[in-house]
Amino acid sequence: MEKQLNLNKDRKINLRMNIEIPNNDNFPSATWIKNVAETIVFALVPENHQEIEKITENVTLKITDSEEFRCEALSFGGLLISRKAIEIIWAFCYGYFTIYIHKLSGTDSIGQYVDLASNPKLLKSRKLLTWALNNLQGNVSEIPKELPSIADNWEIDSKEHAISDLTQCVLAFFLFHELAHLKFQGTY
């Protein structure tokens, strides 16, 4: 899938990255994840778009429906990231973002301990962080239905939409790192 991105009137980016997404109606982030390849360009050094175009030419980003955390460069010149990795990264972004927003809103004194266990406003954050840590430790499960999910549709100006944008930047950073492995082929 070749995408042409318009950063401004004067500059277009031709991203020639193939993206393979599981053909699965239950894949929670299928529509959302398509933006990650674009985020590699928009969020990470857009001024070097020509180099990014060259690096991503003929690269396949394979997104699996795997239950294990995987994000890696593949020997044949592709990138792989699992659904579980995407969900765990999103859960960490959600959990910490909401804690920081709570802290910065003045609800706790600066420098004070934030009690996640007894603060009802942070209950979902705590549960998502616990879920993410458990999954990283091999206790694999789906995001509980009562908690926010990457698959939910968020209002444009909501904090959850901002969290999704942040998650795309984090994923782009992870994938950009893996692109370096492809470019330098283990020589660094």
**pLDDT tens digits, one per residue of 26-45:** 666 666 666 666 666 555 66
Q: Is 47 exposed, middle or buried (0-12, 13-18, 19+ CB in 10 A)?
A: exposed
> How big is the chain by its Cα radius of gyration, in Å?
18
- Between CA 94 and CA 80 the distance in angstroms is 23
Domain extent, residue 108, equals 3-184
Which three-class secondary structure state does DSSP give residue 137? Answer: coil
133-159 pLDDT, tens per residue?
A: 999 998 989 889 899 888 777 788 888
Number of domains in the chain: 1
